[in-house]
């Protein structure tokens, strides 16, 4: 039996990323597989630089990392490569990212910008489609638009996937999540602010949603009061 582990929007929470990687390794019990990170590594949280450095270095230990692109990763690349778009990025969480690099746009390594820019928009396996935001169910997989993949928000009550593929995404946060539907799973729990990150565990030989969830806790930020401060890491079995 092999598993795919999915980490949603990290947004500069290096502490939660490290906690998640440690718990994934423990869950795998010496059988490394694939980790899919579904974008938004930067902005809002305090340690975007450290998050990018960690993922850019790879996971090691026999693990395969499929890091996908999120809309905030695109905003960062655009803001740093086009001065006309810098203010737009900074006002949407980029100030925290820039602070993690020392406050100077020129101090952001080109290798970091290039890595974010070249990330793919989706990952597909036998049973699931992994993407940052979502898909248009009326379009074939090879006809999806970048805007949809990066920015889509599903209407309330929409439970569908894409044909027989179960869609795994983030982007549209719900602090009480994850949101589990027959056709899709939304793993975004506003982790950068709540301090609560959910990792979805998917059985590679079985269609549908997660067979397990790993819940990682860290301190909330910005006055967030929902959930216990400093709650330890634990598993939520399904």
Condensed to tens digits (0 to 9), the pLDDT of residues 146-161 reads 999 999 999 998 999 9
Query: Mind listing the pLDDT tens digit for each residue in 175-222?
Result: 999 999 999 999 999 999 999 999 999 999 999 999 999 999 999 987
Total count of domains within the chain: 1
- From 20-34, 125-139, 189-203, 212-226, the region with the lowest mean pLDDT: 212-226
Distance CA 63, CA 15 (A): 20
Total-model pTM: 0.94
Task: Give me the pLDDT at residue 59, please.
Answer: 93
| Inter-residue contact 192 to 48 (CB < 8 Å) | no
Mean pLDDT value of segment 108-114: 98
Q: Domain range holding 146? A: 3-237
* Proportion of the chain above pLDDT 70, given as a percent: 93
> Looking at residue 61, which CATH number applies to its domain?
3.60.21.10
């Amino acid at each position: 039996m092999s598993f795919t582990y999915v980490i949603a929007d990290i947004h500069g929470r290096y502490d939660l990323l490290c906690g998640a990687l440690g718990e994934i390794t423990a869950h795998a019990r010496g059988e490394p597989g694939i980790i899919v990170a579904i974008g938004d590594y930067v902005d809002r949280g305090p340690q975007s630089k450290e998050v990018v450095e960690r993922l850019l270095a790879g996971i090691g230990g026999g693990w395969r990392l499929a890091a996908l692109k999120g809309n905030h990763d695109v905003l960062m690349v655009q803001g740093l490569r086009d001065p006309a778009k810098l203010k737009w990025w900074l006002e949407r969480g980029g100030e925290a990212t820039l602070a993690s690099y020392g406050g100077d746009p020129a101090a952001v390594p080109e290798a970091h910008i290039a890595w974010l820019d070249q990330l793919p928009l989706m990952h597909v396996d036998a049973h699931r489609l992994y993407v940052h935001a979502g898909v248009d169910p009326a379009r074939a997989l090879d006809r999806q638009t970048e805007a949809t993949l990066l920015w889509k928000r599903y209407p309330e009550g929409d439970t569908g996937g894409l044909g027989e593929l179960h869609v795994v995404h983030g982007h549209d946060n719900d602090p009480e999540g994850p949101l589990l539907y027959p056709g899709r799973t939304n793993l975004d729990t506003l982790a950068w602010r709540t301090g609560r990150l959910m990792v979805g565990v998917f059985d590679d030989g079985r269609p549908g949603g997660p067979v397990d969830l790993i819940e990682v806790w860290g301190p909330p930020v910005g006055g967030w009061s929902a959930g216990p401060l400093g709650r330890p890491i634990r598993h939520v079995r399904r």
